[in-house]
Structure 1
Amino acid sequence: MLKGYTLPRTPRGTSSLAPLPPWHYVGNAIAVEFDAAPTAAAAFLPEGLELHSGRCAAYFVEWQYASDTGEEYLDPIRSQYRETIILLSASFEGAPVAYCPFIWVDQDVSLMRGLVQGWPKQIGSTWITRAYDLPSKAAPVVGPGGRFGATLSAKDRRLLEAQVTLREVTETLPSPGFAKAVNTRYFPELVAGKHDSPAVHELVQLKSRDVRVSPVWKGDAALKIFDHPYLELPDLKPASVLAGYRFSFALTVDDLIPLRDLRADTQAADDRATAVE
């Protein structure tokens, strides 16, 4: 009998790309809040979500991960990765939520875990300025005047650049936040005649637990989104940049909240169209 939470499933089940949840994470983040054109942001939202505002956020995160029974961080290549996340401000049935149209990661294990949760992950290269416990010209302070940079590239093209200069501690996290984001789980069908009928198409909401957040530093920020020949990220270019943040946080993921089966909505719409004809 083959075992494993994800493919590949094998006799002992130890070769799965992503192991059985729970998944424990800790990370250092640089975040930038910005406003995009509301009509452009709204165009990215799936059925079931409405635009709350043009407020967006870009997160650049250095993560470290461990499973419930393992100590993957002792083999750092299995545990560490970097990620860039774009979030939009949306609402679901009147309640404010976040929605992710784009996300890039540099590890296949993280990509698999993300696809299970509905994050639309792609492979990309994220780099973030690091702070250290010793004062040095080679590192910023986590305090007033500390300057941090972050970049994202994918397929040899620069996509994003950000800089943050810290000013003060704040009680407020960047908005929109991603701990309880709403995602679209989507898996297409390859059977002939069913290419327009996905095997999985549903809205889900993340359900994190044991969330811990360090002191949050806030300051001034700059963000640039570069033009691209086919990627639609430039549609979300900042109309204005609002603020930058630097903080650390930890959370555990082992659950998901199904919100709506979008296949049923599509079938109902097709049935109505057929009845009209």
Structure 2
Amino acid sequence: MIKGYSLPLTPKGTSNIVPAPPWHYVGNVLAIEYEAYAENIAAFLPEGLEFSSNQCAIYFIEWQYCSEFGEEHLDPVNSQYKETIVLVSANYKGTPVSYCPFIWVDQDLSLMRGLIQGWPKQLGETYITRPYNLPSKAASNLEKGGKLGATLSVKGRRLVDARITVNKKTETLPNPTFAQAINLRHFPELVLGRHNQPLIHELVQLKSRDLHISPIWKGDAILNFFDHPFIELSDLKPTKVKNSYYFSAALTVDDLSQLEV
């Protein structure tokens, strides 16, 4: 009998791209709040979500992951990846939520985990300045005036360029946040005559647990989006750049909620 949590299913069940949950994560986060055109945000929202405000956020994250019984973090190629997440504000039945129209990762296992959760993951290259608590011009220390940068490139083209300067510590997380985002889980149908009838098309909400946040640094930001021949990210480009944040986060994922539309 073949087995496993995800494809490929095999006799031993150890070759699947994604092992069974729970999935444990820890990562360093560079985030920037910004505003975009209201009509463009509304156009990206699926049925069941309503426009809330023009508030958005972009997250650049270096993650490290392990499964419940695995030690993937001791084999870094199976554990580490970087991603860029774009979130917009929305309302679900009168409750403020976040929705993810775009997200890019650089590992197949992260992409597969994301599709299971409803994150619309694609492959892309994210790079983030790493701070070090050492006396060096290259260190980008987390202190007043510390500067960090981040970029996103997709298929050989740069899509996002970001620079931040941290100024003070805060207790406030970026808004909107990703910990309980609502996603659209979608899996299409290939059978002829049913291409417009997806096998799965539903709103789901992530149910993360055991969330831990490090001290949060807040500051100013410069954020630029660039045009792409077919990726519509520039439709959500900033009209106003607001606060920046840098912090570390840890959480566990093993559940989600299927939402009524």
Give a deviation string over 1:12-59, Cα, whole Å, max 9, x none: 100000000000000001001000000001100000000110000000
The Cα of 1:228 is off from its aligned counterpart by 1.2
1:176 Cα deviation (Å)? 0.2
Name the residue aligned to 1:205.
205
1:113 corresponds to: 113
SS at match of 2:176: coil
Q: TM-score, normalised by structure 1?
A: 0.93
Deviations 1:227-268 (A, max 9, x none): 1111110001100001111000000000000003x6xxxxxx
Q: Per-residue displacement from partner, 1:200-248 (whole Å, max 9, x unpaired)? A: 0000000000000001100000100001111110001100001111000
Are 2:133 and 2:142, in contact at CA under 8 Å, matched by a contact in 1? no
Question: Aligned residue for 1:139?
Answer: 139
**Structure 1, 44-53 or 130-139: larger mean CA deviation:** 130-139
RMSD between superposed Cα atoms in Å: 0.7
Alignment partners' CA distance in 2, 1:171 and 1:249 = 13
Q: Distance in 2 between matches of 1:71 and 1:242?
A: 39
Residue of structure 1 equivalent to 2:86 = 86
1:137 Cα deviation after fit = 1.1
Aligned match of 2:54: 54
Aligned to 1:226: 226
Match of 1:31 in 2: 31
Q: CA deviation at 1:133?
A: 2.9
Structure-1 separation of matches of 2:212 and 2:95: 23
- The one-letter code of the counterpart of 2:92 is F
Q: State the Cα deviation string for residues 117-155 of structure 1 (Å, max 9, x = none).
A: 000000000000001232211111111111000000010
Please give the per-residue CA displacement for 1:184-209, whole angstroms capped at 9, x wherever unaligned: 00000000110000000000000000
Q: Secondary structure at the match of 1:54?
A: strand
User: What's the counterpart of residue 3 of structure 1?
Assistant: 3
Which of structure 1's runs of 4+ aligned residues deviate more than 4 A? none
Which amino acid in structure 1 is aligned with residue 257 of structure 2?
I
Instruction: Give the Cα–Cα distance (whole angstroms) in 1 for the partners of residues 163 and 41 of structure 2.
Output: 23
Unaligned 5+ residue runs, structure 1?
263-277
Please state if 1:127 is matched with 2:127.
Answer: yes
Task: Name the amino acid aligned to 2:205.
Answer: Q
Task: Name the residue aligned to 2:256.
Answer: 256
Q: Distance in 2 between matches of 1:135 and 1:53?
A: 42
CA distance in 1, matches of 2:34, 2:198: 33
Output the CA distance in 2 between the equivalents of 1:93 and 1:8. Answer: 38
Q: Which residue of 1 aligns with 2:164?
A: 164
Task: Report SS of the residue matched to 1:5.
Answer: coil
**Normalised by the size of structure 2, how large is the TM-score?**
0.99
Residue 169 of structure 1 aligns with an amino acid whose one-letter code is: K
- Aligned residue for 2:73, secondary structure, equals helix
CA distance in 2, matches of 1:242, 1:112: 32
SS in 2 for 1:43: helix
Q: Which amino acid is the alignment partner of residue 215 of structure 1?
A: P
Distance in 1 (alpha carbons) for counterparts of 2:144 and 2:51:
35
Larger radius of gyration: 1
Q: Share of identical aligned residues, percent?
A: 64
SS for the counterpart of 2:77 is helix
Q: In structure 2, what is the Cα distance between the partners aligned to 1:129 and 1:249?
A: 17
